[in-house]
A and B are shown apart, each in its own frame.
Chain A
């Protein structure tokens, strides 16, 4: 089958010269390949300045856009080495025993960074620790230089006592270090812990460190200093860090109401709402009003069914072409049965790798992630937003917020007539699901057991949901 061969051939024809890439599976990405040296992102800052928050978020974002990234939290290593945390005295600068342990933990983490880059095809490692002394940073720099890794520092500087206190409340109290303490004790201890670092804290110096690549974040994003951005990935990281914020807000994700084509079990197309879908639109309006959301922005795709849904809300909405449903190419408006009949190989290939599979003359989930990146960036900038979109789109957005990997993403459950409310909390995202009590067809097709090209139709169609 020449077409299949061509698709395979063109996947393989992306050349690459860098030695680090030789083992890497070539992702036919729609972003340029960052196929040069791996990058270490090194956090810098006193405790409770948001380093771990930033590390986790950045890691989540980079993985979602397709850059294999892993976080290395030195505190974790310390907790594994010293089973029980007594109190802040561990962090006193004159505590030689503790110093030895902490150095060893940092070294162990760096060793794991090397393993991640050389054996696990990692591209970015986020080294999350205070790294508050020039000496410690020099060790990291020479380690990276020796191995051929690029280094990008992210320093968080904040002296606003309220922000720091809120930070401590949100994430420190729940830490394993303070699991048996009462809140006041924990707060007291943590503040003394911060003081242990203060005396020896040397921020990155704009003069002496002018050759280093770094971003300094002041007061949770009020101000930034960016120095010597070396390459594309660092530029993207800077852009991302400059767009995120910590203001409390919620993001509501919903699909359009049930559509005429949904009822018929047909994928794609641009049909209108079914009567039940219209009911959902009205129910959504009631629900949203009841949530009493401040300054809600509403976004839809360019497709009729999401716009009709938004119309019922009676508020302004913005249409984004980027939110359009995945383009099923030659399979647009087909039922799964028809796809099986007309394109059995395609159907099987899709089940084999639903994330990377691209419909002929259409798109893949991987393509979707690429086109949704500006949506994610704008969602990060915004506060309260309701996104009315489509099944595949919602799966991609959800995977970003809930840190789901590529192989789970295409199977996330996003049923019709259900609103998901996402509220950032601590290091992650709280999800609340609201089914608005209007019946709808099920459009979720599980991965069947047999994904072989030579399977028979019954096996292929086993998991197709019911329809007219």
Chain B
């Protein structure tokens, strides 16, 4: 919970500084009083993204990529740790009007239709309010056409009343090929068109777009000069950015300016099996076993970490590659190169804390998964810019990257399965990502440790070590 008051300086006199205690899970130093941590100290993430919740509002005719952008942005913000949710007004409409008949619903003279649509927008805004004020949401993405100034004015007032900042994201595109492709990719599969054949669906959808065209008022440089917005033109050829107010808006703009929709695939894999893997040790910087060297043989950008085993793997491919230090495996601090059995013996408390909250747990003098996500953000940003890339990395790192592409939560992330000698091929499709798992048919040791049942600090060694995979 964020506190915006100044801590009372009268509580602390020069000769009486507050004691600091280190939180056992995240290893964060916090002031405490009477044995309990004090609340006045803020964000240890290191960045207060914004001091009030933000409402991102999409603007644009149908089939301009608004939902694509909304979902992608929501996924990105959640991954970097900003609680975000999208609210798609079309969803609300589908729940209200069970069966979609035709484009006539969207005709500007359809009073009944307009009434329903207004109600749906209101219902969605209500849920936005609840999410941002009662559910600790920080960003809400309001995904609808919002093509009239009048509708946008309603939203602005709503935001003002509730103390939310507003940031508009308008997508403008007149390229018929892009629009057609858009319709084929996502509209044909929509619940609205389950019972139509392709031609019918496309024809109806084009008429639907027409319904909006006459009343469309694009964000205007002069009339809307006091609003904060980004206007994306022709799928990223050009951007107009107006009045960026704070850090989160700046990050959103940067992200939106780096994504593209050119078809491509991202390949994620770990290094070939290493000597330490075989012995059941974590971390370290060792070489490949003979088995591992087999795996490493398969026009494409190749990225590795700066640890020997990923570089050796790339070397075998005999193509140019780039080394990224930030792709290095999670730093296990004092536990580097230990077996789980040794960690249990020497640091049973740490071992239990880790099982209690594997995402936030930070190894002493090491890192947490949460830290990893922060250091991997530039990799994700560059992956968004690139086309075909093979990333040769490590178990924890691969879990973080995979969680980003597959929209996995922080709870699931540290337990995603990323076995050795398996390449995951990720291909963006429609609103998500297709995953193909390519096993390279070369045996390797298993390094995946499931969460054991008993995560209590008081548990016995056997219970702690129950899920440790076999090793030499």
A binding-site residues for B, Cβ under 8 Å = 6, 10, 13-17, 28, 30-33, 206, 210, 222-229, 231-232, 235, 238-239, 242-243, 272, 278, 281-282, 285, 299, 302-304, 307-308, 311-312, 314-323, 332, 361, 367, 370-371, 378, 381
For the complex of A and B, 10 pairs with smallest distance between CB atoms: A314-B9, A320-B46, A30-B325, A15-B320, A282-B14, A224-B241, A226-B239, A319-B44, A227-B238, A307-B29
Which residues of B come within 8 Å of A, CB atoms?
3, 6-9, 12, 14, 17-18, 20, 22, 27-29, 31, 40-44, 46-48, 221, 225, 237-244, 247, 250, 253-254, 257-258, 303, 306, 308, 311, 315, 319-326, 336, 365, 371, 374-375, 378, 382, 385
Question: Which of A33, A272, A307, A316 contacts B7 (CB under 8 A)?
Answer: A316
What's the A-B contact tally at a CB cutoff of 8 Å? 146
| Assembly CA distance A319 to B326 (angstroms) | 21
Q: Give the most central of A282, A312, A318, A361: most B CB within 10 Å.
A: A318
Closest CB of chain B to A269's CB: distance in Å?
Answer: 10
**B434 nearest CB across to chain A (Å):** 26
Residues of B within 8 A of A243 (CB): 250
Contacting B20 at CB < 8 Å: which of A278, A282, A308, A367? Answer: A308
Q: A206-B238, A229-B257 are in contact. List 17 more A-B contacts (CB 8 A).
A: A6-B308, A10-B311, A15-B320, A30-B325, A32-B322, A223-B241, A224-B239, A225-B241, A238-B257, A239-B250, A299-B46, A304-B22, A307-B29, A311-B12, A312-B12, A315-B9, A367-B325
User: How many angstroms between the C-alpha atoms of A235 and B259 in the bound complex?
Assistant: 11
Contacting residues, chain B, for A10 (C-beta < 8 A): 306, 308, 311, 323
Query: Given A13-B315, A225-B238, A318-B42, A278 and B17 touching (CB < 8 A)?
Result: yes
A14 B241 Cβ-Cβ under 8 A: no
Closest Cβ–Cβ distance, residue B341 to chain A (whole Å): 23
Residue from A239, A303, A312 in contact with B254 in the complex, judged by beta carbons closer than 8 Å: A239
Contacts A222-B243, A223-B241, A227-B237 given: A16-B320 contact, CB under 8 Å?
A: yes
Give every chain B residue within 8 A of A315 (Cβ-Cβ). Answer: 6-7, 9
Q: Which residues of A contact B324 (CB under 8 A)?
A: 30, 32
With A228-B237, A235-B258, A322-B46 as known contacts, state yes or no: A242 contacts B311, CB within 8 Å. Answer: no
Q: In angstroms, how far is the closest chain A Cβ from the Cβ of B38? A: 10
Inter-subunit contact A225/B7 (CB<8 Å):
no
User: Which chain A residues border B7 with CB–CB below 8 Å?
Assistant: 314-316
* 24 A-B contacts (beta carbon < 8 Å): A13-B323, A14-B321, A14-B323, A31-B378, A32-B382, A210-B238, A232-B382, A239-B250, A239-B254, A242-B244, A282-B14, A302-B27, A311-B17, A311-B20, A312-B12, A312-B14, A312-B17, A314-B12, A315-B7, A320-B46, A320-B47, A321-B371, A371-B375, A381-B247
When the two chains form the complex, which single residue of A235, A238, A278, A317 contacts B41, counting CB atoms closer than 8 Å?
Answer: A317
Contact in complex: B306, A28 (CB < 8 Å): yes
- With a cutoff of 8 Å between Cβ atoms, the chain A residues found around residue B20 in the complex are 272, 304, 307-308, 311
A32 to B17 Cα, complex, angstroms: 45
Shortest distance in angstroms between B380's beta carbon and chain A's nearest beta carbon? 13
Q: How far is the CB of B225 from chain A (nearest CB, A)?
A: 8
Chain B residues whose CB sits within 8 angstroms of the CB of A321 once the complex forms = 46, 371, 374
Answer whether A242 and B250 are a contact pair too, CB < 8 Å, given A316-B42, A319-B44: yes
A282 CB to nearest B CB, Å? 4
CA A228 to CA B237, docked complex, whole Å: 5
Complex CA–CA separation, A94 to B371 (angstroms): 62
Identify which of B12, B323, B385 gathers the most chain A CB atoms within 10 Å of its CB. Answer: B323
* Cα-based distance from A31 to B303 in the complex (angstroms): 11
Q: With a CB–CB cut-off of 8 A, which chain A residues contact B42?
A: 316-318
Residues of B near A227 (CB, < 8 A) are 237-239
Once bound together, how far apart are the Cα atoms of A201 and B460, in whole Å?
A: 79
* Contact A235–B323 (Cβ < 8 Å): no
In the complex formed, the residue of A with least CB distance to B26 is A302
- Which of A16, A239, A321 counts the most B-chain CB atoms under 10 A from its CB? A321
* Distance, CA A184 to CA B7, complexed state (A): 50
Contact B385 A302 (CB under 8 A): no
Cα A222 to Cα B242 with chains together (Å): 6
Chain A residues with CB under 8 A of B221: 223
Is the pair B31, A232 in contact by a Cβ cutoff of 8 Å?
Answer: no
Known: A235-B385, A304-B29, A314-B12. A226 touches B241 (CB 8 A): yes
Q: How near does chain B come to A390, taking the closest CB pair, in angstroms?
A: 14
A269 to B8, CA, bound (A): 30
Contacts of B48 in A (CB 8 A): 318
User: Smallest distance from the beta carbon of B93 to chain A beta carbons, Å?
Assistant: 34
Neighbour of A226 across the interface among B31, B238, B375, B385, CB < 8 A: B238
Tell me whether B31 and A311 are in contact (CB under 8 A).
Answer: yes
Cβ–Cβ contact B12 & A316, under 8 A: no
Residues of chain A contacted by B47 (CB below 8 angstroms): 318, 320, 378
A residues near B365, Cβ cutoff 8 Å: 332
In the assembled complex, the Cα of A318 lies from the Cα of B242 at a distance in Å of 28
Do the beta carbons of A311 and B18 come within 8 Å of each other? yes
User: A223-B241, A225-B238 given as contacts; is B6 within 8 A of A314 (CB)?
Assistant: yes
B309 CB → nearest A CB, Å: 11
* Bound: A323/B46 CA distance, A: 9
- CB contacts (< 8 Å) of B225 on chain A: these are 223
Q: Which residue of A lies closest to B285 (CB)?
A: A361
The minimal Cβ–Cβ distance linking B348 to chain A, given in whole angstroms, is 22
B420 to chain A, nearest CB (A): 21
Name the contact of B6 in the complex, choosing from A13, A281, A307, A316 (C-beta under 8 A). Answer: A316
Shortest CB-to-CB span from B233 to chain A, Å, is 9
* Shortest Cβ distance from residue B248 to the other chain A in the assembled complex, whole angstroms: 11
Cα A16 to Cα B320 with chains together (Å):
6
Complex Cα distance, B315 from A330, in Å, reads 28
Q: From residue A350, how far is it (CB to closest CB) to chain B in Å?
A: 18
A210 to B43, CA, bound (A): 43
Q: Contacts of A272 on B, CB cut-off 8 Å?
A: 20
